[in-house]
Structure 1
């Protein structure tokens, strides 16, 4: 393929360990669709802030951003972590696909990041290897939401804890996934329609942050292993 015909995209890589940034760039560069990509690299919040601002001033987009959460702070701009950096990226480049990479995978922490950032990808460093990294990127490139196994488990634990998940909730999801309309669910579950609707709304609130469609609910539930 002629490299000149490939889309010109910009990929931001941020990690406080330069060896990680080098590894990510090497792996991403091996993907055919990235042969013509421009890479921005940064190792702390201040460098990231400057790179983002310079790119915006030059009228350029950032298409993908791989952000480590644990970064040296930039108090002057109230950037204290990679989480703050991602919020800044969302503001300046709303179409940018953000991928969080972190050594942390505690359920409470993972849940907080999802609610504040809602990234297109969330990867625990312990789940990454050189074989899967290009596959992860290509999944996100296709507009799929990617969570590594440790992150999925943390999300599942947190959701079950928050909404006191039981067999009725699982059955509601299963029936919706099978194409049953909500109004018909009392035929299969010994609960009133209002009780079922309340449970469904609560499940949606936890799984689909924007209270999206039933299809979005089922897609997320499947991804998390509830179906």
Structure 2
């Protein structure tokens, strides 16, 4: 069986390591064709070329943190995964990350529903090919750290949606509330209401944005 695999990581040695591991003769009967990219721009352009050529993309292995393609607002591996879901809906997606903060993990799972989601600290040369084989066979593989992070929201009954998560993440990145409508399609009044709801869940007493972010970090949410 021949399959096309897109690998995107900003460390060329990491990409080559993945290729070597998936080129091993023990990697089932799969004959992979590898597309190696190192940033959002070259990866995005390749994804769009494949769509235009009506060429199938079978498997995408994406690092979450990547150099952005600012012209098209493709900021990371999450945006690349969203693009792949739209252009190649049957493609299996494996995301690898160093960041397992609960809100980031929750946002990725709700937005993309990746077939695999792995903390880089939990994968090694031995387990990586096995994880990929299972995903290609239709299994959904989330590592222990990812599952543990996701449960943090459940345990606190924080059933917030994508916009709630983004508001908290943007605040933690230093974006002022007045500028948040530039990043997400919500009115200022809606953002203020959501922010007040977030504070009511996380802060026992009244506090500002600094106290909110500190508390969220303390809880491991961001």
C-alpha displacement of 1:163: 5.5
Matched, 1:32 2:28: yes
**Which is higher, the Rg of structure 1 or of structure 2?**
1
- For residues 16-61 of structure 1, the C-alpha deviation after alignment (integer angstroms, 9 at most, x for no partner) is 1111111111111121233x21111111010101111222222211
C-alpha displacement of 1:159: 1.9
Given candidates 83, 98, 123, the residue that maps to 1:88 is 83
The separation in 1 between residues aligned to 2:143 and 2:105, in whole angstroms, is: 12
The separation in 2 between residues aligned to 1:66 and 1:161, in whole angstroms, is: 32
- For residues 62-104 of structure 1, the C-alpha deviation after alignment (integer angstroms, 9 at most, x for no partner) is 1010111111111111101111110000000000011110111
Matched, 1:14 2:23: no
SS at match of 1:37: strand
The separation in 1 between residues aligned to 2:17 and 2:154, in whole angstroms, is: 33
SS at match of 2:55: coil
Q: How many residues align?
A: 157
Aligned equivalent of 2:190: none
Of 49-58 and 7-16, more deviation after overlay is shown by 49-58
Aligned equivalent of 1:196: none
In the superposition, the TM-score normalised over structure 1's length comes to 0.66
Matched, 1:162 2:147: no
Aligned equivalent of 1:43: 38
Aligned equivalent of 1:64: 59
Unaligned runs of 5+ in 1: 1-6, 165-227
The separation in 2 between residues aligned to 1:12 and 1:162, in whole angstroms, is: 37
The separation in 1 between residues aligned to 2:46 and 2:158, in whole angstroms, is: 41
SS at match of 1:9: strand
- The answer to which structure, 1 or 2, has the higher relative contact order (CA under 8 A, 6+ apart) is 2
For 1:164-203, list aligned pairs within 5 A.
Answer: none
Aligned equivalent of 1:124: 119
Matched, 1:153 2:148: yes
The separation in 1 between residues aligned to 2:157 and 2:135, in whole angstroms, is: 28
The separation in 1 between residues aligned to 2:29 and 2:4, in whole angstroms, is: 12
The separation in 2 between residues aligned to 1:162 and 1:138, in whole angstroms, is: 35
